[in-house]
Amino acid sequence: MSKKTKHFPKPQEILEFIKDSPTKVGKREIARAFNLKGQDRLKLKAVLKEMGEQGVIERGHRKRLGPQVHLPPVLTVQVSSDLTPEGEVLVTPVDIPNINVPILLIEGEISRVKPGDHLLVRTKRHEQGHYTAHLLKKIAVKSPTLVGAVIKTRGKLYLQPCNRKRQEDLCPIDPQSKATEGTLVLAELSQGRGPKNANVLKTLGAIDDPRVISLISIFQEGIPHEFPDEVLEEAEKVRALSMEGREDLRSIPFVTIDGEDARDFDDAVWAHEDPEHGWHLMVAIADVSYYVKPGSALDKEAYLRGNSVYFPDRVVPMLPEALSNDLCSLRPNEDKACFAVHLWLDTKGRLKKYTFVRGIMRSIERLTYSQVQLAIDGTTDEQTAPLLESLIKPLYGAYALLQKAREFRGTLDLEIPEKQVIWDEAGHIQDIHPRARMDSHRLIEEFMILSNVAAAQQLEALQAPCIYRVHDEPNPEKIFIFRELIEGLGFSFPKSQALTPRSFLHLLKAAHGTPYQALISQLTLRTQAQALYHPKNIGHFGLSLKKYSHFTSPIRRYADIIVHRSLITALKLGDDGLPEDADIGAIGEQVSSTERRASAAERAALERYVSIYMKDKIGQTFQGRINGVASFGVFVTLEDSGADGLIPMNNLPDDYYSYEERKHRLVGRRTGRILTLGDQVTVVLQEVNTLTSSIVLALVSSSPSSKKKKVFSKGRKRLLE
């Protein structure tokens, strides 16, 4: 269409001109293009106004016009790293280029995503000209880099991915890459359409070397594990400890209580009974914020990492060892900077008052959980004997009160044993068994929880910024499925709308000591919402607490550093507090994301270690229990090791099985044999893939456990039929 014409253009012609223009145009450019003068310009103004009212065009910056953007109701978007001036999260369409209209993710879903995520969203247009996006689901996007094993087939080297979800990415290795068969490597896949090649970026080690197992998770999850030089240099040059503005707490006989393999000690405890006023407790935490300044290289790296990551054979720390294992580690008989809280309890274990101080402390002993537990049970050693009456017994006295308070409010207690990997002197896996859990563990947990509650209450009382540790109620859809599963096991679960942790607690007590104890704990855990960090407080469902934050582990959690800084500013305890422009919401999203990343890496590494441990047991028979049923087979947890494996359909003997989804079971069409949740089974270990940590089992026999119907009376007592 010629831009010069002697007739008045139709609305469609105007729209086509606007669309064809490489930039947005205004009334002047349209009039010039169609050679409009005098009265025609006034007529053009009216036509453009009508087109705008009809939604055909929209007015932008400086009255520039553009065709109306009509986004589809559902589309794929990517989360932008940019925010609006109001701090709202922007998303951009993946498959629709040159969209200039803002698309904002609705506020309640911001904590679930991070920049770069691909999302499927439902869009809604608003009169103001922008769109909002409601998250439907996250979309997994394949990374161009992946970890895999170098294998040889028909004389050529191939990359076999470690990630079981990317097994289709088996591809030849670039001949220019230096790679050898039997090694684990980090590789980058070629981009574009057509067959892909793998270019080896880094060799991690030999496939059969247990020391590379954690590296698979580190690289697969993209966990930063090497500190930049400027961060290490800054860690070596942090300021020396000063008494200025600090309370001298060195007369308090603090002790640290940790695991035998702990490397950093960031909390110390003390308790004293006051017959007239109840109990006085103190928790001293490493004053990390004294050394890690806002905006420093150390601070930026800690924010990027979000938290330390713990593997069976190593730790990827949030802070360099000069801080985490030296200056900020509360080692015995050394003066250390601390952020301490005085806690006073009444005779029912309720928190009466608290006071936060920055101080200097000196731990008198580094004790372990097992040492302390043995001491309170009557077996002391050289370290614990002198401390039994003066320190250990008072700690347990305070713990007894806190435990009563915990039971009173109905906290959800899940006794899910943590797997512990035992190594021999040569660095090979000797055994994997559940880690012992003692009252000494619970004692420290209760002291830490109380301190975290006090920190949240203090910040809220002072109307100061706080990153809360929040835990929402379970999703109703998950509860519906959970209730079906529980009833299938012969237990009952209330149908009341007012769901509380006590509802789960009664169920867990009913299952205690039965064959279903571990399974019901796992099902309960799967039903819970994910805990996260957020500036808006909704309480902590699992702990049954209205106010909760994280204060007690600043060496390994960035959220705790932010809470420390906010307390410093609010209580006027120094000039190294929280900056005024700190974006608490963005920080909460970041540390929630890095926590999920760390959990995924830790879980994957442990599964691989378990598969390595089971590798030389192929052909052996094991006892286990069904923990999941699917259309392609049943999942089984083995006793003792806790290993999880799959019995695929073709390993179920002498029958064809139908999957009954609602009843979560497989039923043999000919024999009528039923395989369902909780059934005890005897299996043979048939196959182990240590690369993908998958374990394949074959069924030998099954014995459905007798299911006793449990009826709760008045929510507390149970009646067995």
CATH number at residue 35: 1.10.10.10
Query: Residue 258: pLDDT above 70?
Result: yes
**Angstrom distances, CA of residue 528 to CA of 475, 501, 544, 661, 687:** 8, 10, 13, 21, 33
Residue type, 534: H
Backbone region of residue 328 per phi and psi (left: phi > 0; alpha: psi in -120 to 50; beta: other values): alpha
Lowest model confidence (mean pLDDT) among 9-18, 559-568, 619-628: 9-18
523 within some domain: no
How much of the chain, in percent, has pLDDT values that exceed 70?
89
Query: Residue 112: pLDDT above 80?
Result: no
For residues 423 and 277, state if they share a domain: yes
319 within some domain: yes
519 within some domain: no
Distance CA 398, CA 378 (A): 19
At 524, is the pLDDT very low, low, confident or very high (cuts 50, 70, 90)?
very high
From 586, 594, 591, 577, select the one nearest 295 (Cα to Cα). 577
Query: Residue 128: pLDDT above 70?
Result: no
For residues 321 and 437, state if they share a domain: yes
CB 429 within 8 A of CB 688: no
Of 156-160, 189-193, 219-223, 464-468, which has the strongest mean pLDDT?
A: 464-468
Q: Taken in order 566, 572, 576, 581, is the CA torsion positive or negative?
A: positive
Query: Residue 118: pLDDT above 60?
Result: yes
From 310, 330, 304, select the one nearest 227 (Cα to Cα). 304
Query: Residue 97: pLDDT above 80?
Result: no
From 77, 76, 59, 57, select the one nearest 67 (Cα to Cα). 57
Distance CA 545, CA 553 (A): 19
For residues 270 and 392, state if they share a domain: yes
Q: Taken in order 241, 243, 244, 248, is the CA torsion positive or negative?
A: positive
For residues 319 and 188, state if they share a domain: no
Query: Residue 2: pLDDT above 60?
Result: no
Of 82, 105, 139, which residue sits at a domain end? Answer: 139
Residue range 443-452: mean pLDDT, rounded? 97
Q: How much is the pLDDT for 63?
A: 53
User: What is the number of other CB atoms lying within 10 angstroms of the CB of residue 646?
Assistant: 18
As given in the structure block, the two tokens for residue 413 are 């207690």
Alpha helices of 377-438 — where are they, by DSSP H?
A: 393-409
Distance CA 195, CA 218 (A): 27
488 within some domain: no
As given in the structure block, the two tokens for residue 157 are 């080297």
Query: Residue 278: pLDDT above 70?
Result: yes
CATH of the domain at 113: 2.40.50.140
CB 687 within 8 A of CB 695: yes
Query: Residue 721: pLDDT above 60?
Result: no
From 531, 486, 476, 533, select the one nearest 507 (Cα to Cα). 486
From 472, 415, 630, 459, select the one nearest 549 (Cα to Cα). 459
Average model confidence (pLDDT) across the chain: 87
Query: Residue 482: pLDDT above 70?
Result: yes
For residues 260 and 386, state if they share a domain: yes
Distance CA 449, CA 443 (A): 10
* Tally of domains within the chain: 5
Helix, coil or strand: residue 185? strand
Residue range 125-141: mean pLDDT, rounded? 79
As given in the structure block, the two tokens for residue 84 are 């609006």
For residues 112 and 241, state if they share a domain: no
For residues 397 and 326, state if they share a domain: yes
586 within some domain: yes
For residues 580 and 465, state if they share a domain: yes
Query: Residue 87: pLDDT above 70?
Result: no
Distance CA 272, CA 67 (A): 73
For residues 104 and 19, state if they share a domain: no
User: How many Cα atoms within 13 Å fall on the side-chain side of residue 719?
Assistant: 6
Close Cβ partners of 452 (under 8 Å, ≥ 6 residues apart): 469, 548, 549, 550, 551, 552
Q: Which helix (H) or strand (E) is 504 found in, with range?
A: helix 501-511
Residue range 395-403: mean pLDDT, rounded? 96
As given in the structure block, the two tokens for residue 409 are 């409010």
For the whole model, what pTM was predicted?
Answer: 0.79
For residues 538 and 582, state if they share a domain: yes
Count H helices, E strands: the chain?
A: 15, 35
Distance CA 57, CA 695 (A): 59
From 52, 47, 54, select the one nearest 64 (Cα to Cα). 52
Q: How much is the pLDDT for 714?
A: 34
Of 606, 641, 661, which residue sits at a domain end? Answer: 606
Q: Which helix (H) or strand (E) is 147 found in, with range?
A: strand 145-153
At 15, is the pLDDT very low, low, confident or very high (cuts 50, 70, 90)?
confident
321 within some domain: yes
How much of the chain, in percent, has pLDDT values that exceed 90?
50
Query: Residue 1: pLDDT above 50?
Result: no
CB 453 within 8 A of CB 548: yes
Distance CA 668, CA 353 (A): 63
CB 466 within 8 A of CB 549: yes
Placement of tokens 């310009």 in the chain: 41
DSSP 447-462: HHHHHHHHHHHHHHHT
More reliable by pLDDT, 170 or 680: 680
At 542, is the pLDDT very low, low, confident or very high (cuts 50, 70, 90)?
very high
At 718, is the pLDDT very low, low, confident or very high (cuts 50, 70, 90)?
very low
507 within some domain: no
510 within some domain: no
- Residues 655-712 have pLDDT tens digits of 899 999 888 889 999 988 999 988 999 999 999 998 889 999 999 988 876 554 443 3
From 240, 246, 269, select the one nearest 257 (Cα to Cα). 269
Of 577, 606, 635, which residue sits at a domain end? Answer: 606
- CA–CA–CA angle 454, 87, 574 (5° rounding): 40
Q: How many residues does the chain have?
A: 721
Q: Where are the beta strands (DSSP E) in 364-476?
A: 365-368, 419-423, 429-434, 468-470
Write out the residue range of the structural domain in which residue 30 sits.
Answer: 11-67
For residues 388 and 403, state if they share a domain: yes
**Angstrom distances, CA of residue 701 to CA of 32, 421, 519:** 86, 30, 20
For residues 247 and 345, state if they share a domain: yes
